[in-house]
Amino acid sequence: MPASHRHAAPRNTRPVRLALVAFGVTLTAAPATNHASAPTHPAVRQDVSVTRQPAATAGRPTAAPATDHASAPTHPPVRKDVSATRQPAAATGLDDPAKKEIAMQLVSSAENSSLDWKAQYTYIQDIGDGCGYTAGIIGFCSGTGDMLDLVEVYTQRKPGNVLAKYLPALREVNGTDSHDGLDPDFAEDWATAASDPAFKQAQNDERDRMYFNPAVGRGRADGIGALGQFAYYDAIVMHGNGDDSTSFGSIRKRALARARPPSQGGNEVTYLNAFLDARVWAMQQDEAHSDTSRVDTAQRVFLKKGNLNLDPQLDWKVYGDSYHTG
């Protein structure tokens, strides 16, 4: 699994019936009628899954059908403003399609200085970070193993593809920044492969397998919402999921030493602040990752606003450039 291989700089009614029990007589209010002297009130709407009571048991008096009694007062149905009582929508995880799209845009703003992440399948460049070629939608690197994994998957699905011939060289340069056996045509062939839907799908699948799914799974286990899951994802993208001191696992351990996650009874905001602090520390250990704006002026901004569900609209900055989505 790659350890550290990411970038430091941008690159190119139901009405409610009221049962009245008075002096042993059970009455049911008739539907509201138009009486000039009777005030009207909006009808109560409540979540029946929350307010529904158990069915009447034997021996318990039940309401008789409504009848016309001249002496019985009528009352209009009571209505409440649902805006005051409606509960917020359940939080969604980062794997919700709309949230995942936001995650892809956020990462692309940091990795490619663009929200158009789907334009990055063809991208390939050596950015001088010691990881060799960096390419594709998530920055697969020739020196960190994930590019090798990607080309192997692509070749298993489509033998004889334009990149298959580079597999021996990719195995040799893994762990280095060397281009041996790749130049002079690898970059051009990568761009050619990126026009193949099978290669695009392979990039999507390897992104999910190596980075996205582990981040969402670990985040759910820690009891954090979409924002926290994104913080995990972005950390794995940059630092990898290895076992060195600046990997995602080590960043999380540093955070756990300072705060408990919600799954352990902790406060989500407190824990995420601890995680982002640990992330910044890890970034500062590597000159290539020392610009921390993807945390300071993006993720930390959302956290300060209490946007734990990563709900749009979102405004952030990376490397001084402003972005908006939603």
Would you list the DSSP string of 56-106?
Answer: PPTT---PPPP---TTS---PPPB--HHHHPPPPPP--TTSHHHHHHHHHH
User: CA 165 to CA 186: how far, in whole Å?
Assistant: 10
Q: What is the mean pLDDT of residues 1-22?
A: 39
Residues 73 and 108 in one domain: no
Residues 151 and 282 in one domain: yes
The answer to whether 116 is a known catalytic residue is: no
For residue 1, being part of any structural domain is answered with no
- pLDDT, tens digit, 9 for 90 and up, residues 229-284: 999 999 999 999 988 999 999 999 999 999 999 999 999 999 999 999 999 999 99
Residues 42 and 132 in one domain: no
Point out the catalytic residue in the list 95, 111, 146, 222. Answer: 111
The alpha carbon of residue 229 and the mean position of all alpha carbons in its chain are separated, in whole angstroms, by 6
Residue 41 predicted with pLDDT over 50: no
Residues 38 and 144 in one domain: no
User: CA 207 to CA 196: how far, in whole Å?
Assistant: 17
Residues 71 and 125 in one domain: no
For residue 4, being part of any structural domain is answered with no
Q: What is the mean pLDDT of residues 39-56?
A: 38
For residue 59, being part of any structural domain is answered with yes
Q: Give the pLDDT band of residue 91 (cuts 50, 70, 90).
A: low
Q: 32-46, 97-111, 164-178, 233-247: which range is least confident on average?
A: 32-46
Residue 190 predicted with pLDDT over 50: yes
Q: 86-90, 146-150, 187-191: which range is least confident on average?
A: 86-90
Residues 174 and 278 in one domain: yes
Point out the catalytic residue in the list 95, 126, 129, 146. Answer: 129
Task: Please tell me whether residue 199 adopts helix, strand or coil conformation.
Answer: helix
Tell me the pTM: 0.74
Residues 73 and 126 in one domain: no
Q: What is the mean pLDDT of residues 219-224?
A: 98
Residues 57 and 165 in one domain: no
pLDDT computed for residue 5 by the predictor: 47
CA atoms within 13 A on the CB side of 49: 2
Range with top average pLDDT, 8-17, 57-66, 241-250: 241-250
Residues 119 and 63 in one domain: no
Place of tokens 């405004």: 315
Residue 110 predicted with pLDDT over 70: yes
Residues 274 and 134 in one domain: yes
For residue 50, being part of any structural domain is answered with yes
Residues 117 and 181 in one domain: yes
The mean of the pLDDT values for the chain is 82
For residue 114, being part of any structural domain is answered with yes
Q: What is the mean pLDDT of residues 174-193?
A: 98
pLDDT computed for residue 243 by the predictor: 86
For residue 275, being part of any structural domain is answered with yes
For residue 289, being part of any structural domain is answered with yes
pLDDT computed for residue 64 by the predictor: 42
- Supply the range of the domain harboring residue 44: 17-77
pLDDT computed for residue 143 by the predictor: 97
The answer to whether 111 is a known catalytic residue is: yes
Percent residues over pLDDT 70 in the chain:
72
Q: Give the pLDDT band of residue 46 (cuts 50, 70, 90).
A: very low
pLDDT computed for residue 90 by the predictor: 52
Place of tokens 């690159």: 11
Q: Report the CATH number at residue 261.
A: 1.20.141.10
Domain count of the chain?
Answer: 2
pLDDT computed for residue 292 by the predictor: 98
Residues 53 and 113 in one domain: no
For residue 254, being part of any structural domain is answered with yes
- Cis check: omega of the bond before 197, within 30 degrees of 0: no
